[in-house]
A and B are shown apart, each in its own frame.
Chain A
Amino acid sequence: MTKIFDEMWGREDALRAPYSQFGQWFEGEDPARLRAKQREAEEVFRLTGITFNVYGQAAAEERLIPFDIVPRIISGAEWKKLTRGIEQRVRAINAFLHDIYHRQEIVRAGRLPVEMIKNNEAYLPEMVGVTPPGGVYTHIVGIDLVRTGDDEFYVLEDNARTPSGVSYMLENRETMYKMFPELFSQTKVQPVSQYPRSLLRSLSACAPSCAEGTPTVAVLTPGSYNSAYFEHAFLADQMGVELVEGSDLRVVDGRVAMRTTQGYKPIDVIYRRIDDDFIDPLTFNPESALGVPGIMDVYRAGNIAIANAPGTGIADDKAIYSYMPEIVEFYTGEKAILQNVPTWRCNDPESLKYVLDNLDELVVKEVHGSGGYGMLIGPTASKKELAEFRKKLEAKPGNYIAQPTLSLSTVPIMTKAGLAPRHVDLRPFVLVSPEGVNITPGGLTRVALKKGSLVVNSSQGGGTKDTWVLED
């Protein structure tokens, strides 16, 4: 087996160019001071309230996502190449969503089997024929990338519903500025702090025609017990817009309006952080107490923009993911620049057989799962876990896809014993508006803190790092 690619040291223990200045600086630092800084950083996070609630744990429990002070560094040239691929992919996703909710040409052309859509709950019949204001479906996209070598990046998954984590991208950078100002005067790192402004601008550009003057934007949160509440509050605050809950909203004069101290005021664009199913009890789940009754009616009458549009989940469904190369080619006429991880769809009997035969070498994921739940990592699974998963696969093969275990790149983290390599992934954040695609240089680097672990999800013991894109 070849040696794992480390982004700081390469495969041959030679400091890679993007890390040269950081490496020099690090050499001259006292490890004890750095560890103290690490603790200081955590204190900053606590005080600022950058915490999350773990699902299934006591509601009052607020936890920190561990932050590692060693930045993940990407050269400007590497980034440029990535952004071309990301932009192509995001444009294709939007074109796909428009098509699949209108004439379904891709299905008619036989490039995507109708079975992938027909009984897929992420495909919302209520969105058929609806063209969102501005024509944008996924205003905010997070593309999860992994790296396996100098020039090898793969898309692990697309997040086209309500990707989270952008607040960490911003706060990690702020914390690094506070901790190590000297580093930033030596190394030219592309800023990320413009993100909230870009987001507001991007959302405002999608306002419906009934908006008068400067569009009114609001962030819709399920409430302060939601695991990502901090991020919702943070983004509203940074954009200077209201953070609303379903109980603040009503339909007034054919529009969605928020209850202010001076009466109801209409909203033009709503950045919702509530899942499709819960967004409107009149149209979707009638049990939902979080949503806004009638918002879908207002939406379909063209009187509000919802970001992201309902029904975008059909584009990031794990079964659809395996068709992304076809989707990119169908809508852009070009080969996909970013590679997909080879994927076996277990509803195909031959694939299922292969997967079952090679279970201990593969990663198996639930088609509709997220957050690292319901996932099997073959090489590290116990015999018992493998046997249990085998049963699940045989019972409902259509629920699963499988991928080879990639040897994810590592980036060092600061441990008591000094630097130690840990596996990472990368989620860049992409904004889409009628004005174009905007990719913030950087993103969220998640790191598996446990030695050898490949699971980077914060709910499963992952941490985060500041992600630097250099000005070359």
Chain B
Amino acid sequence: MRLKIAHETRYSFSEPVRYGLQQMRKTPKSYRNQKVVSWETSVIGGKKELQYEDQHRNTVELISITPGETELLLRSEGEVELEETNGVIGPHESLTPLWLFDRQTPQTKPGPHVRELARSLHGREGLDQLHALMSAVAKAVKYTAGASASDWSAEKVMEAGKGVCSDQAHVFISAARLLGHPARYVSGYLMLDDRQSQEAMHGWAEAHVDALGWVGFDVSNDQSPDTRYVRVATGLDYAGAAPVTGTRTGGEEESLSVAIEVAQQMSQSQEQ
């Protein structure tokens, strides 16, 4: 399946920005089951300073806001070809050692609630255990837009019993690590069946099992990713895979508008 994606982010500032930087991880990865056919990023009101690949092979772009500007427009678009693998990404191929994915971070930090959740899955093993974990997290943390803050830990999310996709993923990752599975966060795009326009990127989790390698788990939809999912960036947690991390001086109040379009691109033969 081929997906066409357009992602536009517009920052408006009440005062001119004196200096600002945006660290972006917005370029989808190419790997075995996902081929980036084309991808382009354009910037208005700013400038691309540099680009590199980080320790998770994410493409990172550093954008500077042109001093004196009151608006920054970031637009990325392209096409990605996907193959169905039932959520299996495959063996770990990276300099970042697999054991590093056992490391809990401030966002995945477990507490009594997460530990209890993990304990409830003892007795199961491997893929089965992870699928059960996905369902357990979906049950324990209700998807609720705007229910959480970005600095919440997995434990805090469990306490609240609600959160957004990244919160659910953090709980999954935290518990998976406790159960001995290396785990990571994935940010990406998800094509929705009922509409094209979206306001935010999606986020889910991946865990490593010996037989298969990395496997994806989307708690929010209680399923493993299929060809509607485009993997963009991975990290130990959301912060490590965040689409944008920014800093600036000046500009004062900021308002943000995001417009994302994800749609299936019909191949030529289908169109005829």
So, do A and B actually touch in the complex, CB under 8 Å?
A: yes
- Is A298 close to B, CB under 8 A? yes
Chain A residue nearest to B96 (CB atoms) is: A128
In the complex, per-residue mask of B70-94: 1 if CB is within 8 Å of any chain A CB, else 0: 0000000000000000000000000
> Are A129 and B95 touching (Cβ within 8 A)?
yes
Given contacts A118-B103, A128-B95, A129-B55, contact A297 B64 (CB under 8 A): no
Binds A, one of B35-43, B46-54, B114-122, B127-135: B46-54
Q: Which of chain A's residues have a CB closer than 8 A to the CB of B246?
A: 282
> Which one, A99-107, A191-199, A323-331, is touching chain B?
A99-107
Query: What residues on A are CB-neighbors of B102 within 8 Å?
Result: 118
Instruction: Flag if A294 contacts B99 (CB, 8 Å).
Output: no
Question: 1/0 per position for A292-314, CB-CB distance to B under 8 A?
Answer: 01100110111100000000000
Say what secondary structure dominates the interface of chain A. loop
B267 at the interface (CB under 8 A from A): no
- Give complex CA distance A101, B95 in Å: 8
A301 touches which of B52, B104, B236, B247 (Cβ 8 Å): B52
Chain B residues with CB under 8 A of A254: 49-50, 62
Most buried by A among B21, B52, B99, B103: B52
B207 touches A (CB below 8 Å): no
Known A-B contacts A118-B100, A118-B102, A129-B55; A103 and B247 likewise in contact (beta carbons under 8 Å): no
Interface centre among B49, B95, B99, B247, by most chain A C-beta atoms within 10 angstroms, is: B49
* Separation of A130 and B54 alpha carbons in the complex (Å): 9
- B23 contacts the other chain (Cβ, under 8 Å)? yes
**What is the minimal beta-carbon distance from B151 to any residue of chain A, in angstroms?**
10
Does B152 belong to the interface (CB within 8 Å)?
no
Q: Shortest distance in angstroms between A268's beta carbon and chain B's nearest beta carbon?
A: 15
A89 within 8 A of B: no
Q: How many residues on the B side are at the interface (Cβ–Cβ under 8 A)?
A: 26
The reply to whether B55 and A250 form a contact with Cβ atoms under 8 Å apart is: no
Q: Does any Cβ of A come within 8 Å of B123's Cβ? A: no
* Cβ-based interface call for A251 (8 A): yes
User: Do residues B50 and A297 form an inter-chain contact, with CB atoms below 8 A?
Assistant: yes
Residues of A within 8 A of B103 (CB): 118-119, 125
Q: Which of A101, A253, A282, A303 contacts B23 (CB 8 A)?
A: A282
- Taking each of A103, A252, A298, A301, which has the highest tally of chain B beta carbons within 10 Å of its own beta carbon? A301
Is B100 touching A125 in the complex (CB atoms < 8 A)?
yes
Residues of A within 8 A of B104 (CB): 119
CB-contacts of B94-114 with A (<8 A): 95-97, 99-100, 102-104
B65 to chain A, nearest CB (A): 11
Q: Is residue A61 within 8 Å, beta carbon to beta carbon, of the partner chain? A: no
A297 touches B247 (CB 8 A): no
By a CB distance below 8 angstroms, the chain A residues around B50 are: 251, 254, 297-298, 301, 303
B205 at the interface (CB under 8 A from A): no
- Contact mask A79-121 → B, CB, 8 Å, 1/0? 0000000000000000000000111100100000010011100
Asked whether any CB of chain A lies closer than 8 Å to the CB of B245, the reply is yes
Contact A125 B19, beta carbon cutoff 8 Å? no
Q: Is A281 an interface residue (CB 8 A)?
A: yes
Contact of A107 among B95, B97, B236, B240 (CB under 8 A): B97
Known contacts being A126-B54, A129-B55, A129-B95, is A293 close to B247, with CB within 8 Å?
yes
Assembly CA distance A228 to B169 (angstroms):
44
State how many angstroms separate the Cβ of A151 from the closest Cβ of chain B.
Answer: 41
**Bound Cα distance A126, B53 (Å):** 11
| Per-position 1/0 for A247-276, Cβ under 8 A of B | 000111110000000000000000000000
Decide: B23 and A294 in contact? CB cutoff 8 A: yes
Chain B residue numbers with a CB within 8 Å of A294 are 21, 23, 49, 62
Contact assessment for B96 and A125 in the assembled complex, using a CB-CB cutoff below 8 Å: yes
Known contacts A117-B99, A297-B50; can you find 20 more A-B pairs with CB under 8 A? A107-B97, A114-B97, A114-B99, A126-B55, A128-B55, A128-B96, A128-B100, A129-B55, A130-B55, A253-B49, A282-B247, A283-B23, A294-B23, A294-B49, A294-B62, A297-B23, A297-B49, A297-B52, A300-B60, A301-B50
| Chain B interface (Cβ < 8 Å from any Cβ of A) | 19, 21, 23, 49-55, 60, 62, 64, 95-97, 99-100, 102-104, 236, 240, 245-247
A residues sitting closer than 8 Å to B (CB atoms) are 101-104, 107, 114, 117-119, 125-130, 250-254, 281-283, 286, 293-294, 297-298, 300-303
Pairs across A and B, CB under 8 Å, 18 listed: A101-B95, A114-B99, A119-B103, A125-B103, A126-B55, A130-B55, A251-B21, A251-B49, A254-B50, A294-B49, A297-B50, A297-B52, A298-B62, A300-B54, A301-B51, A301-B52, A301-B62, A302-B52
